Structure 1
């Protein structure tokens, strides 16, 4: 999913999907999204709830940081996630995503059924914001 939808893999689309069924017939959402990866299998099961919460927070923060690093051209002006409450970090992160989305994709259209997504499809493919316009 990440290789198909993430903008960072657009230059490898033919290499990755050229010989598959989707290769010659890609959907409009191909390589048009910023994909954040979570791997909760890394969160060790702990007996104390506070230890489990801390391990979960640490893994989420790691995912946020990796996402920022992988997509830094989108977030040059935004502060990197810091340690602390995952809920607060997620709220800040989502606000930043809304700002990037507002700058890049101001007009939504209904999602394509072929992509089986329950979100809005933007009119244009993802492009980093023009940082000179701020």
Structure 2
């Protein structure tokens, strides 16, 4: 397993941590929409992309055979990461609070990423696999 295959997923995880753990006063106000908040949409987008990048890394790694079990494990890892981020927000004392709605949005993003993988991406992902 080479770290280079997972560089995008790991880099994105760092971006998620930095953005979600910034002190509250440094964050711009998010406009409220009627049915959902922009914050929920951003959370879903961040974690959906996180899952897709992880799956791309696994797909490209020639030492890994990407089967349903590994895809499921990857999804659960991203969901656990989303919950961990919320726990960290609540425990760091930076004016942020652990929000179960954000944890749910993170998980929904994972579901969307998983759906995109199964509907579209995995059909084309084989062309990204590196050999040797």
Q: TM-score by structure 2 length?
A: 0.31
Q: Rg bigger for which structure?
A: 1
TM-score between both structures, scaled by the size of structure 1? 0.31
Structure with the bigger percentage of strand = 1
Q: Which has the higher contact order (CA 8 A, sep 6+)?
A: 2
